[in-house]
Amino acid sequence: ASTIHKKIYRQTSGAPTERLSFQRQPNRQEEMLYIVDEASMISDEKAFGESGLLDDLMGFVFEKSTNRLLLIGDTAQLPPVGQLLSPALDPELLAHRFRARVDGVELRQVMRQAEASGILVNATELREELREEVPAIRLHTNGFKDMFKMGGDKLEDGLRWAYRNYGHENTTIICRSNRNANEYNQLIRRTLFDAEDEIQSGDYIMVVRNNYSWLPKDSEMGFLANGDFLQIRKIIRQEEMHGFRFAQAQVRFVDYPNEPELEVKLLLNTLQSETPSLPRDQSDALYKAVSEDYADVAKKSERTALIRSDKYLNALQIKFAYALTCHKAQGGQWQAVFVDHGFLKPDEPVGGEFARWL
């Protein structure tokens, strides 16, 4: 198993003042079936390589005409950030854009949830409402043991109860924006954990950008993926470099208990940013600053290798993991989840975008 990015791209760079970029690799495998899960999140907007991720994936797989692609996803889940629909799950789009033969099937019977579950009842109703032009949102909690309505005045008590009964790793808050998540994360750290430092031992964090630099090659994990959860075991030191803040830390991998703890460098600027990861302009600024450190290396190949392996450029981009946006939470599972859907006017209809988020 691998991420799409690791499978189909290789990292490249141009002049020392340019940022690292990615180029689609050639595919020499034939008669292969490629299975892609969580396909609802595959974007067709340009982010890697020369085209969008969907275009590059299709180009990679069907570079050999005997290959086949199986896309698995849920159209009721969130589409890629900034898009209204999931292009990889749109048969007409796939057939038209790529001149492909597309077959599809929809599975509708849920197998991993009790029939009397309030979560299942409400999720099923929301899914049906998504078929309507103006979805009617009604959440039912009466008579169910797994869903409750809770006012903001009860949140602190509710979180303390959940942490006590399920633990920090099985409790989360899901909210609408990175700003909301930042506010919740700071509130939880200050109020429930008496945190005083920007980051400290015991903090739970989430990797928010794929990173291929820190794990040993024989690691079970392969790489640190966007969405991986870590716990800070020790802050070794903090420093400022190139106009950014960093921490050297010992971390453990929450979802890989057999993986040994690892010393890594963390980029702290992303903790409070209102973007999913480091913004493009700041990423470019960091790359330029790091490149200047190696400007005196005459041989281009050596200079490029040094830039690529630089610890500051490859620092883990992270956010606190007590509260998450729905995009970051998608695909995860917890025993206790607090959902903040924001303020809704009683008589104002909601669109399919919000129903899909919910």
Residues 288, 176, single domain; the answer is: yes
Of 45-54, 182-191, 220-229, 328-337, give the range with the top mean pLDDT: 182-191
Q: Is residue 249 predicted with pLDDT exceeding 90?
A: yes
Residues 101, 183, single domain; the answer is: no
Instruction: Tell me the pLDDT tens digit for each residue of 153-177.
Output: 999 999 999 999 999 999 999 999 9
Least confident span in 53-62, 102-111, 145-154:
102-111
Residues 24, 160, single domain; the answer is: no
Residues 142, 166, single domain; the answer is: no
Question: Which of the four pLDDT bands, split at 50, 70 and 90, describes residue 298?
Answer: very high
Query: By the 8 A CB rule, do 6 and 21 touch?
Result: no
Q: What is the mean pLDDT of residues 138-149?
A: 88
The neighbouring-strand residues paired with 283 are: none
Q: Is residue 12 predicted with pLDDT exceeding 80?
A: no
Asked which of 129, 149, 169 is the last residue of a domain, the reply is 149
Q: Report the number of distinct structural domains present in the chain.
A: 3
Residues 87, 127, single domain; the answer is: no
Q: Is residue 78 predicted with pLDDT exceeding 90?
A: no
Look at residue 57 in the predicted model and tell me its pLDDT. 95
Residues 231, 159, single domain; the answer is: yes
Least confident span in 29-43, 201-215, 343-357:
343-357
Look at residue 131 in the predicted model and tell me its pLDDT. 81
Question: Which of the four pLDDT bands, split at 50, 70 and 90, describes residue 241?
Answer: very high
Q: What is the 3-state secondary structure (H, E, C) of the chain?
A: CCCHHHHHEEEECCCCCCCCEEEECCCCCCCCEEEECCHHHCCCCECCCCCEHHHHHHHHHCCCCCCEEEECCCCCCCCCCCCCCCHHHCHHHHHHHHCCCCCCCCCCCCCCCCCCCHHHHHHHHHHHHCCCCCCCCCCCCCCCCCCCCCCHHHHHHHHHHHHHHHCHHHEEEEECCHHHHHHHHHHHHHHCCCCCCCCCCCCEEEECCCECCCCCCCCCCCCECCCCEEEEEEEEEEEEECCEEEEEEEEEECCCCCCCCEEEEEEHHHHCCCCCCCCHHHHHHHHHHHHHHCCCCCCHHHHHHHHHCCCCCCCEEEEECCEEEHHHHCCCCCCEEEECCCCCCCCCCCCHHHHHHC
Q: Identify whether 353 is part of a domain.
A: no
Q: Identify whether 275 is part of a domain.
A: yes
Q: Identify whether 354 is part of a domain.
A: no
Residues 185, 285, single domain; the answer is: yes
Question: Which of the four pLDDT bands, split at 50, 70 and 90, describes residue 18?
Answer: very low
Least confident span in 18-22, 282-286, 321-325:
18-22
Q: Identify whether 289 is part of a domain.
A: yes
Residues 338, 227, single domain; the answer is: yes
Domain with 231 in it: 151-344
What is the pLDDT of the chain when averaged over all its residues? Answer: 89
Q: Identify whether 312 is part of a domain.
A: yes
Asked which of 149, 175, 210 is the last residue of a domain, the reply is 149
Look at residue 341 in the predicted model and tell me its pLDDT. 86
Q: Identify whether 140 is part of a domain.
A: yes
Instruction: Tell me the pLDDT tens digit for each residue of 96-134.
Output: 999 999 999 988 777 766 667 898 888 888 888 888 877
Q: Identify whether 201 is part of a domain.
A: yes
More confident residue, 127 or 88: 88
Residues 274, 132, single domain; the answer is: no
Residues 12, 56, single domain; the answer is: yes
Asked which of 149, 179, 213 is the last residue of a domain, the reply is 149
Question: Which of the four pLDDT bands, split at 50, 70 and 90, describes residue 321?
Answer: very high
Residues 19, 84, single domain; the answer is: yes
Q: Identify whether 95 is part of a domain.
A: yes
Give pTM, 2 decimals. 0.83
Residues 80, 165, single domain; the answer is: no
